[in-house]
């Protein structure tokens, strides 16, 4: 799709990411625009999740310049964090659905927690996100009655509920078999292909995804996060080091 060439939705310049008193990454610099699909790769412990947690405001930023939408992460106040998070849909490796309630009630829980009141609007929104992920016929099911791939579809529907400008997906296919992985990739790239799609940042370990669905790639390594060049041979050499 045509990228939005206006202001980046996420902009980091010379950012240090410090977690638990340790400098995890230094001088992190990247811009991501609405509608872009970007992979975040790197070995275990290289700082990928720390970047994701800094974008959501869980890890404060003390050095450099960092913004998400109109929020300056260097000056983020606690009271602003819920509004920042409302711009962001998060998808986890282990789905993180509430196991004691149905698919519908998982989504209802999020809408109520984010201030939705009108019953009809709530029902329409849940129907709309469930049909966007092909799960509209399973809204009454409990999460444990679904396969891993189906649970991840529900988690993606949940991420879409408030029309996010950014989706952060932290190893969303890490617990899935090859077929379910491909289905989830098709779902995410299908969301990316739609008009006015959110920016999607996807953490992954899976080299074959980067080959089959090539997108911009940021790699964390040796305390740095850098962009891999678009040149394919070079990319594959580096990816082989993952
Ligand atoms: P990745 O997602 O690439 O596996 P992380 O961002 O989870 O990497 O971890 C980066 C670094 O931060 C690691 O060195 C790890 O030891 C450290 N770290 C991870 N979680 C915590 C935590 N809860 N408290 C302190 N340090 C942590």
**Tens digit of pLDDT for each residue in 142-193?**
999 999 999 999 999 999 999 999 999 999 999 999 999 999 999 999 999 9
User: How many whole angstroms from 136 Cα to the centroid of ligand 1?
Assistant: 37
The pTM is what? Answer: 0.93
The protein residue with its alpha carbon nearest to ligand 1, atom 24, reads 20
Q: Which residues contact 207 (CB under 8 A, 6 or more apart)?
A: 239, 240, 242
User: How many whole angstroms from 69 Cα to the centroid of ligand 1?
Assistant: 25
Q: Name residues of the chain where pLDDT drops below 50.
A: 1-4
Do residues 64 and 57 make contact, with C-beta atoms less than 8 angstroms apart?
A: no
Distance CA 219, CA 41 (A): 5
* pLDDT value for 1: 46
| Residue 234: count of CB within 10 angstroms of its CB | 11
* pLDDT value for 6: 72
Ligand 1 mutation target, pool 50, 170, 203, most atoms within 8 A of CB: 50
User: How many whole angstroms from 12 Cα to the centroid of ligand 1?
Assistant: 19
The protein residue with its alpha carbon nearest to ligand 1, atom 5, reads 47
* pLDDT value for 68: 98
Phi, psi of 168 (to 5 degrees): -105, 115
In this structure, the residues whose C-beta lies within 6 A of any atom of ligand 1 are 19-20, 22, 24, 42, 44-50, 220
User: How many whole angstroms from 201 Cα to the centroid of ligand 1?
Assistant: 18
Distance CA 155, CA 176 (A): 14
Ligand 1 mutation target, pool 24, 26, 28, 39, most atoms within 8 A of CB: 24
User: How many whole angstroms from 92 Cα to the centroid of ligand 1?
Assistant: 16
Do residues 93 and 141 make contact, with C-beta atoms less than 8 angstroms apart?
A: no
In our burial notation (b when 16+ CB lie closer than 10 A, e otherwise), range 33-71 reads bbbbbbbbbbeeebbbbbbbbbbbbebebeebebbbbeb
Q: Which DSSP category does 217 fall into?
A: E
* pLDDT value for 4: 46
Which atom of ligand 1 sits closest to the CA of residue 43? 3
* pLDDT value for 229: 85
* pLDDT value for 233: 66
């Amino acid at each position: 799709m045509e990228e939005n060439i206006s202001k980046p939705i996420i902009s980091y310049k010379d950012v240090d990411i410090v977690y638990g008193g340790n400098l995890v990454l230094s001088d992190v610099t990247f811009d991501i625009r609405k509608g872009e699909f970007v992979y975040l790769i790197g070995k275990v412990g290289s700082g990928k999740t720390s970047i994701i947690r800094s974008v959501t405001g869980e890890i404060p930023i003390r050095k450099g310049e960092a913004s998400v939408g109109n929020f300056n992460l260097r000056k983020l106040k606690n009271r602003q964090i819920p509004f920042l998070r409302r711009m962001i849909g998060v998808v986890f490796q282990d789905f993180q659905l509430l196991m004691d309630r149905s698919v519908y009630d998982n989504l209802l829980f999020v809408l109520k927690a984010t201030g939705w009141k009108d019953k009809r609007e709530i029902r329409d929104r849940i129907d709309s996100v469930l049909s966007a992920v092909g799960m509209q016929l399973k809204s009454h099911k409990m999460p444990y009655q679904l396969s891993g791939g189906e649970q991840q579809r529900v988690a993606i529907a949940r991420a879409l509920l408030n029309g996010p400008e950014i989706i952060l997906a932290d190893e969303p296919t890490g617990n899935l078999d090859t077929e379910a992985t491909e289905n989830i990739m098709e779902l995410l790239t299908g969301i990316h292909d739609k008009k006015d799609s959110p920016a999607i940042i996807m953490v992954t370990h899976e080299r074959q995804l980067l080959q089959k669905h090539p997108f911009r790639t940021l790699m964390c390594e040796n305390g740095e996060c850098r962009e891999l060049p678009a040149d394919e041979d070079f990319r594959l050499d580096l990816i082989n080091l993952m």
